[in-house]
Structure formats: structure tokens, C-alpha cells
Amino acid sequence: MTYLNLDKTKLINLSYSLNRELIRSNHAGSYACTTVISANTRKYHGLLVCPLEYLDGGYHVLLSGLHETIIQNDTEFNLGMHKYDGDHYNPRGHKYLMDFEAIPTSRLIYRVGGVILSRETILAQNEESILISYTLADSHSPVVIRFRPYLAFRNIHALSKANNDVLSKVYKINNGIRMRMYQGYPFLYMQFSRKNEFVHQPGWNYNIEYVMEQKRGYDYKEDLYVPGYFELSLKKGETVIFSAGTGEAEPRSLTRKFRNEKNKRIPRNTFHNCLLNASQQFLVRKEKNTTVMTGFPWHRPSLRNTFGALPGLTLPAGDLKTFKSVLDHGLSELHRSFNAAALKSQRHIFRGIDEPLWFIWALQQYYHHLDDYSQAWETYGRKVRNILNSLCDGLADVVSMHENGLLFCDNTEIPFTWMDCVVDGRQVTPRSGYIVEVNALWYNAIMFSLKIAREAGDNTFVSRWKDLPSRISESFVQVFWSPDKGYFADYVRDETADWSVRPNQVLVASMPFSPVHDDMKQKMLEVVASELLTSKGLRTLAPKNPAYIGIYDGDQSARDSAAHQGAVYPWLLGHYAEAYLRLYKKSGVDNINRLFQGFNEDMEVHGIGTISELYDGNPPHYPNGAISYAWNVAELLRMEQLILYYQNIQ
């Protein structure tokens, strides 16, 4: 029995197993994603999905699946699985499954009569390559195994349809073949660690259905191309490695390569190790740049999510080198986008005005971890100063600092914050004017900058900015705080405050430097705990609000409408925990630890060994959205560090 283990009773129950997904990514940016029983239910699923920037800037499914057939005594047993019209599954290979485990890699065990076959999958860490190890654990006689590759060669957001443009020619290579379906694509190299026979038998498999796409209101039928099949014989105790990648492999080294790749993995044998393992999957290293993927399988990088997630993804593991690499690359991206021209440009319309403030917060976390601020201003002072000056002086019609010291976001057409969903050209949660968390981040950024500037002796900077925090603090309370309600307005515009109970106000108390007193923080957190806190994070809107939507479901318009009107986000729990522990210190640890440990059960739900993007606002808070989300994993790891810190303080 292992930590992540599903037995036969769960695996053959399709309502259970088809809702459990696996996502594995690598530092090259590729990923492999499917369900625990290897039956694809999304157009985003595939054994090898690669970024092909030169084609369209997107990710492409090359190898959709690999179906195995065990042949013994002239009888065929198909281990694969596809869904067709209605509830028709063919073949139904899941019925042969005995066991699934995910330590450290994903392994399925099949039993067909007296034959026991183990299938273990691993994605190479630094190249676009998937490796699958097959071991014949038991058999009274040799068996023949036939392997049929199902190919797509299309963008993850599209679907493949049968056509006459396919390049059907295959080229024999050492223990395998190479081929590509269309001009412009890289060749896919499919090889085995031992000799085999390839039978060229090209054809289409029509009308495969993806139930999750049907549920989400998208086109859900696909035709996949099968170029033929590989066939080889195995005896009891023998192992063969299959490799598929965009470069040719050396068959003799595949066994060693698989073993070496396996040894690199963090074992997913505890909740903590699952989070650490998941955190590594969001880091993409290309050339000299390291970036953070927002989430899998469809999210692309964003600066807000990068800076918000970066401390949790790297600092708990002590990976300061990666932190610096990501931060510096993100800073260069920020420099290109954070100016008046870029903010007015249509292609930057979804850039958040809070992104540079999240950058300063991430920088603050880095130096707090080092417990040494001596080099902070020398290294980043000029960039920090430019950010603060730009916001203070104002950027076109987007943002300006008012006489009261607060930032005012003036353009009502641009979604400035993380609540940025737009449906039919309309913002679901329009927030402009004085925005509560933007100004909490603003105050914190100025205070941190003053701290590191003083240490560096930059008296010019200190002289200019030292009087502003007190002005901001006074204005913040006047603009946002309601003594009667006991919480902060979400935003204020034209002297009208939005008193919807939302979680953004938690950042007022979680920031290392806060513009308000502890008694206000305490009252606010009581309201948040009463109306927004769930076992999986904070709701984005209180249920008593008429606009509340408790279930994240339906087509894209319905889902986007629900995403910030009640859906629960775990990353917000990290900031709630920090605010709570700042107030209650050691006496608050038990409450926060219970919330943290509650995610232990999520390791076998939705995305195996990771944390989903969001949860329903209504109990039982079912996981939804992307199956693995960087900011959520990161904040749980940071939350764990906070628990350990406050447990040990005197």
C-alpha cells in the first residue's frame, strides 16, 4: 500500500476513475496528461504535448495515446480505452486493471488471466520525450504485445479531423520509426529498447469523444490517426522501454535513461512531498530563462501569477537560484509591458496594474527568507524606484496617485486585478477607482522600499517617500473602512463604495507592512471567516450576495461568470493564514494547521498529487478548473512554512 494508490474497485468504476487525472510536465515545457486509467476525456490530454512556438505560439498534442494489446494463445486482450457515441467504450481495457500508484512515477498494473503486466510512465525532465516501461511480472508462457500509437498533431485548443493532407510516409530508424503528420511539425520518433516489428497500416479512428469537453460546451469529437502498430514478444520478468520524442533516442540507453529519470523525482509518499513534487512542474527552463506556468493543462504564464506563486514554489525548497532566475526574467517582461504605451495597447489589455506591486512583494519574500537586506537596494533599487515613480506620476488614463496618496485606477474597460474574467465583452466583476488590495500592495511596496533604501543609505529616495505612508494609512481607513460593518470596501469610485464581502481585503492584513491597526484586521478576519472561509480556501463572494454563484459549471460563459462570484481559491488561504497568524501567533497555529491538513485528501481527487485551480463555493466544494495550479500549490507550501515558524516561536 502506497500514499497515492487506487485499487481495482476504484479503477473499474468509471464515474470515479475518469474524474481522476494525471499531469506531469518537465523543464522543457512539455507535458503528459490523461486520466488514471489512461482514457482521455479532454482535448488537452495526451502522452506528449509540446510547446511549438514557431508554429502558432501554442502547445500541440503529438502523441495522443498508446494502446496495448496482449496476445496469448491467439487470443487478443485490448488494454486501451476510447469513448464513442453515447456511453459506448471500446475497448474497455480498464476492466483488466488491478492497481494504480504514483510513487514516484505513475504505474498501472494489468491482469489478463495469468498474465500480469506493469506499465510505468515518466516524462523526461529536460527534453520533449515520454518514456513508458513495460514489465511482464508474471506469465506461464511468452506473450506478444502490440502497440498502436494514436496521433493528433494539432493545437491543444483544436481537434483533429480526418483529412487527406496527412503525410503517411514513415521512416525506419533504430528499433522504431519517425514520422510527422504535416509539414512544419517536428518529426515524432517512436522507438523501443529492443528489436520489434512495425507494421505500416495507416488509418483513422473516427469520432472519439471527450466527455469533459462536451460538459464544458465545446466540440468534443475527434478523429485520431494511427500509422500502424509495433509488435514484440516478452517473457516473464522481462522489461521493454518505449520512447516517443522530438529527437532520436539511443535504444541501448533507454533502460538506463528511464532509471536515471526516475531517480531524479521527489517521491510522492507524503502530502508535503506531493506539494514539493508538484511545485517543480511549473518551472520551465529554456536557454537562460526560467518561467512559471500558471497552471495545467491550458493556462499560459502570467506575471501576476508568477510573482504571486514564486516564493512558495522555490523558497520552501531552498531553491534561491531558481527564484532569482524567474524573478529577473519576470522583471524584464514587466519592463516591456509596464509603461503607458503598453497599457493602452490592446494586446496588453489584460495586464494587471498590480503586477509590479506583486513583484516587489516577491522580492520582499526573498530577502526575508535570506534574513539579509544589505544587497537588496543595490541589486534592485533602480527597478523598484522606477516602478514607484511610474505609479506615483501616473500612466496615461490607466492609473494615478491622488493627493490622498492612494492609487486610483481610472479606466473602466481594463480588468486591473486578478478578478479579470470578461463575458461577451463585459467584465463580470468590474473593479475600478480605489481598489482595496492594490492599495494594500502599494502601501507595503513603499514601506519595504523605504526599509531597504535606508539600509543602503539612499537619503534622496527616503526624503522623497518617507512622508507618504502616513498619508496613505490615514486615507486608506477613511476610504475603505466601515466601523459599523467591520470590514473593508472592495473598491470605491465616485464616492460610492462596493461593500460586497470579497476576499481581496485579506491582503490588507497579510502584507508585511499594513496601513491599518490590528483591531481592524481582527474584525475583518472575523467577517471573512464567517462568510468566505471554507475548507478549500476563500470564496470570492459571500453566499448572501444576490450575485453569488455557488457551482462552477456549464459552458465557458457560465464558468467565467461563476469564477469570481463565489468560487473558492486555495491561494487566498495562504494570505488568510498569514494574516491570522500575525494576529494570533502560536495560539492560532492549530486552526490554520487544520485547514492546511484538509488538503491531504485532495491528493487523490481531480489532479492526482496536486491542487486544482478552484473549487465550488457550495459544499462539498468540488474541485474544478485547471487540474494543477501554481499559485495554489505555492501558497500551501508557504502556508506550511508559516505554520512551522509560528509553532516554534516563544
From 264, 286, 311, the end of a domain falls on: 264
Residues 367 and 461 in one domain: yes
Distances (CA, A) of 137 to 44, 110, 249, 261: 32, 10, 26, 22
Q: How far apart are CA 340 and CA 603, in angstroms?
A: 44
CATH number for the domain spanning 412: value is: 1.50.10.10
Asked, for residue 287, whether it belongs to a domain, the answer is no
pLDDT for 347 equals: 42
pLDDT for 410 equals: 85
Quote the domain boundaries for residue 34. 5-264
Asked, for residue 17, whether it belongs to a domain, the answer is yes
Phi, psi of 41 (to 5 degrees): -120, 0
pLDDT for 73 equals: 86
Asked, for residue 354, whether it belongs to a domain, the answer is yes
Residues 71 and 211 in one domain: yes
SS3 assignment for 330-387: HHHHHHHHCCHHHHHCHHHCCCCCCHHHHHHHHHHHHHHHHCCCCCHHHHHHHHHHHH
Asked, for residue 388, whether it belongs to a domain, the answer is yes
Q: Are strands 171-173 and 176-179 parallel, antiparallel or unpaired?
A: antiparallel
From 498, 513, 528, the end of a domain falls on: 513
In this prediction, the residues of the chain whose per-residue pLDDT falls under 70 are: 1-2, 339-351, 412, 650
Residue type, 277: N
pLDDT for 349 equals: 44
CB atoms closer than 10 angstroms to residue 587: 10
Asked, for residue 204, whether it belongs to a domain, the answer is yes
Residues 355 and 258 in one domain: no
Asked, for residue 460, whether it belongs to a domain, the answer is yes
Number of domains in the chain: 2
Residues 259 and 156 in one domain: yes
CATH number for the domain spanning 129: value is: 2.70.98
Asked, for residue 540, whether it belongs to a domain, the answer is no
pLDDT for 342 equals: 56
Asked, for residue 158, whether it belongs to a domain, the answer is yes
User: CB burial class (10 A; 0-12, 13-18, 19+) of residue 410?
Assistant: middle
Residues 253 and 361 in one domain: no
From 264, 298, 326, the end of a domain falls on: 264
